[in-house]
Structure 1
Amino acid sequence: MTAAAPTAGAVPGPEAAAPQINWTMLLLGFAGMVIGQFMAILDIQIVAASLPQIQAGVGASADEISWIQTAYLIPEVVMIPLSGYLSRWWGTQKVFLASCLGFVLMSVATGLSSSIEMMILFRALQGFVGGAMIPTVFAVAFTAFPPERRVTASVVMGLIVTLAPTVGPTLGGHLTEWLSWRWLFFINVFPGMLVLFLVGRYARFDKGDARLSTGFDWWGLGLMAAFLMSMQFVLEEGAKNDWFQDDEILLLTIVAVICGPIFIWRSLSYRNPIVELRAFANRNFQVGFFMTFIVGAALFGGTFLLPLFLGRIRNYSAAEVGTTMVVSGLAMFATGPFAGRLVRAMDPRILMCGGFILCAIGMWHAHLVTDEWGFWEFAGVQAIRGVGVMLAMIATQQMSMSTLPLHQVRGASGLINLARNVGGAFGLAVLNTSLTTNTAIHMGELTSGLTPANNQLVDMMAGMTQRFAGSIDPEASGMKAIYGMLYKQASTLAFGDGFALIAIGCAMAAVAALFARPSKAPAGTPPSDAH
């Protein structure tokens, strides 16, 4: 970087050198952190396609196996906001190395588990220690890089955040087919070793502040853990347990409602809070937090609905689902470099609004889905959604963080990542409930006119009875087949309702984006103390 020019009229003398950045150290260290972030996000989805094989391998029940996912996500939401405090206390490098090492060790322990109880324990520890790898990368992108390079770093992070959920189920299905389900966890060893080397060797971005060890807010940590873990559990398990009809869900909802406001009060009043909430005084951060919440719901919601539809309605295999889903990932990858250039050239508010509108258009078209839709019908939907999500994500990251003072960036990055995770959990909870409820509603509508006096039903029954003439009870077999056809149609209509819900949420986010302020960072913003 060039030295600063002397002020006009000043006495000639040695020029003040501008802060120097060792780009080799910065890029290699950041690359190691990005690989770790990809590994942590991928591990949420890579297990999804292989739960039946894991269930058989450890002898778990259908209810127990769902905890493989839940046990990972619940502790993770505590570490994500806590990582900002730990980074300021120990330094980013030490926090990331400890997180990566713990994540790899817990991955191996999970893969070696011989019972569902062992697996749930190690999976919970894996999610907790690995949670620090996700937000620390965002903080480095906005503190270690100079302002003119932060958009590029945001594009890289956006690609990782969107790619991992897209390829996760496909990669998991193939690994299980080729090797065994245990390799879903063992595979983390190889990239983990690379991350430990790169981060340990090159990621010396900052130094910790040992003074933060005095007056650590244990009460704040306890309140935050109770609030976030209760809320995450309710969102993850509520739809399965009929929401507030279940005593456990009701109790944890009460815990979250009580602990949440007390935690916020504690964070705003304590001299050394676990989470710095003062970033919410910045209106752009407020809007960006809400936008990221919607991005999480749109990203994880679409990634949840489409494979579920292809598996339930079209009976696609894991490989066929992966082939169909790849369109979304390709669209995001193709959009990333252009999104970076557009953010530099345009007001991020326009890109946020436009990105969410594209996402809404794609999802609204999908609400017309029929049980004949396959790769080509979903290709356009996924392409439009992928472009929209990428534009909205990159613009949201830039707008949320670029107007914050540097000392708030680490804590704010944890809050932004928390918004995306909770948004995803909220989106899945709403979609799960919508699928269950609307399938029952549509089933009632379809069957309401089917009475013994209905000529259409009589003709269908006659045809089905003839078709199953060789069975023990042809009439019962025919009725079962008709019920299956109607249920498939009701489910398809419910999936269409789910896609419409995502579209409505994205349209609301497009309107909210207009309430942000211009977010161009001042040209003189220092690049921080990166070495």
Structure 2
Amino acid sequence: MAAAAGAGSKSRASGSAEKADAAAWMAVAAGTLGALMATLDISIVNSALPTIQGEIGASGTEGTWISTAYLIAEIIIIPLSGWLERVLGLRTLLLGTTVLFTLFSIVCGTSTNLGMMIFGRAGQGITGGALIPTAQTIIAQRLPRRQQPIGTALFGVTAIMGPVIGPVIGGWLAENISWHYAFFLNVPLCAALVILLLVGLPHEKAKLGQLAEADWLGIAGLAFGLGGMTVVLEEGQREQWFDSSLIQITTAVSVLGFICLFVGQRFAKRPVIKLSLLLDRQFGSVAVMGVFVGIALYGTSYVIPQFLSNVSGYNALQSGLVVMISGIPSLFVMAMVPILLKHVDIRIAVAMGITLLGLSAIINSHLNSLSVGHDFTDGQLMRGFGQILSFMFLSQAVVQSVPREDAGDASGLFNAMRNMGGSLALAAISILQDKRLWLHERRIEESLNANSYAVQHYVSSNGGITMAAPQLGQQIMGQAYVMTYNDIFWLMGVATLATLPLVLFLRPLSKNAKPAAVH
């Protein structure tokens, strides 16, 4: 092991003169596998969510917590990954998070109620979130410079494939075996990851003394601020907002958390998140666009399976296959990224990506009760092109918009902002689904006059008022669902397109830029 580590170090020192050894590539394989698991579990529950909700007794709006808990936990851990790596050592950190990720996956797979599932998903997010940025660290540390683009390409394909194939795998397991195995699948993957880590990465001595220098105020503020804000957004509608003591308390916790986070910015030797980077014109613009791109991506990947299940009657596997369509153009464009980075102006590429993302959502805002999977094809193809153009170029802009010593903080902050966009999207969808569904149901009911010929004919043709009333109620509910989902798609599209003016704040990339890793 020591010899392997020495060879790896020698390779790094000599730059392009040498090739990485087998241990280095095993380390890269470990990082890639870990990132695959983490990104896979973001979306693996989406297509099976209606089934999971039914079995654990959760409503449609409560079910958003199953996805939101993972994203919020990831937001908290991603900026901390660099610090944890320095304190514990890379191998120790990854081994610990891998084992814990497995245990939390088992908790999710054995969940019998919503609370247990949320606990498991939050645990998955905390541990899985650390697997993503550390994969990029392995590529930078274990591969010589001339082989790093290969590692970056492998990571990029993994990062794209995880969210794309997740709904398909989750749907297939839910339909053919059981939704529980969407989580149990992680057990053999984690076992393989542990073996690769033990062989491919050298042990590093922990530096526990750095725990005393940590920005604990900022860490607590980040957790309580984001966690409290999410509870307020998710539960506010059901709890009648500030009429509820729960919302009052969680709002106070959130405000106190953000105050602690900002105090940490002022007094900590090294803040948990360097928020001052947001004051940079380019990086601030990139971060804001990242939030809204996250809203478009995570929002649509959640709403599409919900529509197909509630309106079109699709099962989990069929919904997953529709979601997977967006991965086809993403993989195609990924191979062209190095060429695009050299020859396409970042402002044009990002503008095109955001436009495609926005239009893909707006296209899906004209659905009806007869819409099925193929009605999403055009939007999904546009979304696939848009997500790779926007993310790859925005990630490159992150690296080049800040000093080299701040690149790690900037990358963590950007990824956290993007996940925050996804969390905000799911919370907003929960609120909109409740409010707009009620509104559309009342409007449809108001348009039906009990004495009209059409209503009387419907009643007489369907066995009288006793039999016709429930059927009519179901049809009203179905139409209200369609109108609600159309509203959600339209709002996501408009919100994404509204960020287009920020493209003007971007600066051209260096023509010699290497593809930056992104998840």
Q: Normalising to structure 2: TM-score of the pair? A: 0.85
1:480 to 470, 495, 510: 470
Out of 387, 393, 396, the residue aligned to residue 395 of structure 1 is 393
Within-5 A mapping of 1:442-453: 442-453=440-451
Please identify, of 26-35 and 155-164, the stretch whose mean Cα deviation from structure 2 is larger: 155-164
Distance 1:122 1:429, change over 3 A: closer
Counterpart pick for 1:362 among 360, 363, 371: 360
Counterpart in the other structure of 1:3: none
Q: Is the 8 A contact 1:78 1:229 kept in 2?
A: no
Q: Distance in 2 between matches of 1:326 and 1:230?
A: 33
* Cα distance, 1:302 vs structure 2: 0.8
Question: d(CA) in 1 for partners of 2:422 and 2:171?
Answer: 22
> Structure 1 residues 364 and 39, CA, compared in 2 at 3 Å: closer, same or farther?
same
Matches within 5 A, 1:98-497: 98-112=96-110, 121-139=119-137, 156-203=154-201, 212-454=210-452, 458-468=453-463, 474-497=464-487
Tell me the alpha carbon deviations over residues 459-517 of structure 1, each in whole angstroms, 9 at most, x when there is no partner: 3432342232xxxxx21322332333233223212222211112112212222122122
In structure 2, what is the equivalent of residue 498 of structure 1? 488
Q: In structure 2, what is the Cα distance between the partners aligned to 1:364 and 1:449?
A: 27
Deviation at 1:381, TM superposition (A): 1.2
Q: Deviations over 1:260-319 (max 9, x none)?
A: 133123123211333333433543322222122122111111101111111111111112
TM-superposed deviation, 1:425:
0.9
Offset at residue 55 of structure 1 (A): 6.5
Give the counterpart letter for 2:491 in structure 1.
Answer: L
How far the C-alpha of 1:331 sits from its partner, in A, is 2.4
Structure 1 residues 511 and 207 mapped into 2: Cα distance closer, same or farther (>3 Å)?
A: farther
* Counterparts of residues 62-81 of structure 1 (less than 5 Å): 68-69=66-67, 71-81=69-79
How far is the alpha carbon of 1:342 from its aligned partner? 0.9
The whole-number CA distance in structure 2 between the counterparts of 1:64 and 1:361 is 29
Tell me how far apart the structure 2 counterparts of residues 320 and 17 of structure 1 sit (CA, whole Å).
Answer: 51
Distance in 2 of aligned mates of 1:279 and 1:306: 35
What amino acid is the match of 1:219? L
Is 1:508 matched up with 2:508?
no
SS at 2:367's partner residue? coil
Bigger shift: residues 214-223 or 319-328: 214-223
Quote the Cα distance in structure 1 between the aligned partners of 2:365 and 2:66. Answer: 31
Deviation at 1:64, TM superposition (A): 8.1
Deviation at 1:141, TM superposition (A): 5.6
> What amino acid does structure 2 have at the position aligned with 1:479?
A
Q: Does structure 1 retain, via aligned residues, the 8 Å contact 2:15–2:145?
A: no
Deviations along 1:134-184, one digit per CA (max 9) or x if unpaired, are 233345566777788777766654544443333323312322333333322
Q: Which moved more, 1:136-145 or 1:321-330?
A: 136-145
Percent of residue pairs identical: 28
* SS, match of residue 132 in structure 1: helix
* Alpha carbons 1:212, 1:272 under 8 Å: kept: no
Q: Is the 8 A contact 2:71 2:420 kept in 1?
A: no
CA contact (8 A) 1:353 1:509 kept: no
Q: Given the superposition, is the C-alpha separation of residues 276 and 86 from structure 1 closer, same or farther in structure 2, using an over 3 Å criterion?
A: farther
How far does the alpha carbon of each residue in 1:12-59 deviate from its partner, in whole angstroms, 9 at most, with x for none?
xxxx965756434554423321221221222233234445665677x6
- Structure 1 residue matching 2:325: 3-state secondary structure: helix
- 1:411 maps to amino acid: D
**Cα displacement (A) at 1:203:** 4.5
Cα distance, 1:22–1:92 mapped onto 2, change above 3 Å: farther
Describe the SS at the equivalent of 1:131. Answer: helix
Separation in structure 1 between the aligned mates of residue 193 and residue 432 of structure 2, nearest angstrom: 40
Q: 1:482 to 1:180 in 2, by over 3 A?
A: closer
Q: Which residue in 2 is equivalent to 1:23? A: 20
Q: What residue number does 1:10 align with?
A: none
Using the TM superposition, give the Cα deviation of residue 365 of structure 1 relative to its aligned residue in structure 2, in angstroms.
1.8
Letter in 2 for 1:91: G
**Is 1:96 paired with 2:86?**
no
2 CA distance for matches of 1:326 and 1:206?
Answer: 40
Letter in 2 for 1:284: Q
CA contact (8 A) 1:75 1:124 kept: yes
Contact preservation (8 Å) 2:174, 2:317: no
The answer to which of 284-293 and 299-308 deviates more is: 284-293
Partner Cα separation in structure 2 for residue 446 and residue 404 of structure 1: 53
> Which whole-Å CA distance do the structure 1 matches of 2:311 and 2:52 have between them?
23
Deviation at 1:429, TM superposition (A): 1.9
CA contact (8 A) 2:170 2:317 kept: no
Q: What is the root-mean-square deviation in Å for CA atoms of aligned residues?
A: 3.4
Contact kept? 1:71, 1:127, Cα under 8 Å: yes
- TM, length-normalised to structure 1: 0.83
CA contact (8 A) 1:154 1:398 kept: no
- Call closer, same or farther: CA 1:265–1:240 in 2, change over 3 Å: same
Cα separation, 2, equivalents of 1:353 and 1:237: 35
- Answer yes or no: is the 8 Å Cα contact 1:296–1:423 preserved in 2: yes
For 1:149 and 1:286, how far apart are their aligned partners in 2? 31
**Aligned counterparts of 1:181 and 1:171: Cα–Cα separation in 2:** 10
Task: Tell me, yes or no, if the aligned pair for 1:351 and 1:395 is still in contact at 8 Å.
Answer: yes
Partner SS for 2:370: coil
Q: Is the 8 A contact 1:142 1:402 kept in 2?
A: no
- Contact 2:171 2:319 (8 Å CA) reproduced: no
Residue of structure 2 in register with 1:519 after alignment:
509
Q: Matched residues in 2 for 1:493 and 1:258: separation?
A: 38
In structure 2, how many angstroms separate the alpha carbons of the residues matched to 1:396 and 1:445? 42
**Aligned with 2:369: secondary structure?**
coil
CA shift in 2, pair 1:151/1:441, >3 Å: farther
Specify the SS of the correspondent of 2:87.
helix
The structure with the larger Rg is: 1
